[in-house]
Amino acid sequence: MRFSLLALCLMATRAEGQRVPTARVSVAIVEADAMPAERTRTIAALVRTRLEHHTTREQLHVWSRKNVAWLCDMICPDRWTPQDMHEVGKLLPADVMVLLTTSVQGGEVSAQVLAQRQPSMAVDTLPRVRGVADTAVASELAGKLSEMLQRLDEQKLDSAPGAARVVSVPTHAYLVDVMRKRGSESPLGDLRRRATAPDDVEVRAWGGFGLTGISGVVLRRERGAWRAWRAVVVNADTLAIREVKADARAIEGAWDAAMQEGLLTLPAEVVRKWVMLDGFTYVIEVRRGAEYRASSIEHVGKPEVPADAQVKRVFEALTRLVPVAPARIPGP
């Protein structure tokens, strides 16, 4: 067992529940073919109640088949393709369009969800919901919408002024995302999104993610001044930070030592033939001006690849200034 999946899942779930999107997203529900008006209104109302944290009543609109036919100049296709949806979406004042269709008998409803303002996003298709249970249809639809709106919100934040360009991150960035959320909910802020000057640098080195807990060190140079913090995850979802009253030269020395050990050449991850379930993992985030990179690498007693020894040396260089107990680095 290498790290506690249950604990991490609880952390992520609580964070999602507390998170409030910074920007609302407008949604258009479009009838692609004839549906009973009352049923469409019922579905829309049920969806609306499940999206209160993403959109407002004024930002959720229902477009009937008649309205859509008018938009299409009466030549709307019988079977819509993603391109058709894009074309109609250009005429709708919405960030997201939902296409509702029914079977000939009206006993099934399917929905396609398309992000209009992000053309690169793929179309998500809901499984058909059998029967006439509108609550089941709305639940499926709202769940898919929530996922897409969350992704849209994340994309908006990642492209906002001051956000960093991603140089490298793990393919499976779950642990990195967990610590980014912890940081965003603390005075430290989200390292990837906080506005920085071109000469500013910051590194956040986290260790643990198993029975030993999670703790780390933060080194920051802002406007030429060095500061350091010790951080510990407490109560499963809160990042407690304490500034370290260290000499600026000592903090800079820790940064320089980590650079010499290969801080900026760490791979984002190491591909393993095994999966860590409970144990000690290193998560290291680095911000240099407008660039962001992150690594998530498991601790192994006997290095399998050069990066295994490299990440341990980098972590030790950074934490020599600020001990990170109780999440101590295991022995060989």
pLDDT tens column, 112-132: 666 665 543 444 555 555 545
- Determine the pLDDT at residue 284: 97
Q: Coil, helix or strand for 251?
A: helix
In angstroms, what CA-CA distances link 291 with 124, 178, 205, 227, 288?
Answer: 31, 20, 17, 20, 5
What's the average model confidence in pLDDT over 21-46?
Answer: 71
pLDDT above 50: residue 314: yes
Q: Are 85 and 97 in contact (CB under 8 A)?
A: yes
pLDDT above 90: residue 68: no
- Determine the pLDDT at residue 328: 52
- Determine the pLDDT at residue 2: 39
Name all domains of the chain by residue range, CATH numbers in brackets. Answer: 22-158 (3.40.50.800), 165-319 (3.30.1560)
- Determine the pLDDT at residue 78: 63
Q: Which of 146, 139, 138 is nearest to 43 (CA)?
A: 138
* Average pLDDT for the chain: 77
CA dist 265 and 314 (Å) reads: 10
Tell me the whole-structure pTM to 2 decimals: 0.62
pLDDT tens column, 234-272: 877 788 999 998 899 999 999 999 999 999 999 999 988
In angstroms, what CA-CA distances link 242 with 82, 195, 212, 262, 284?
Answer: 51, 22, 19, 27, 19
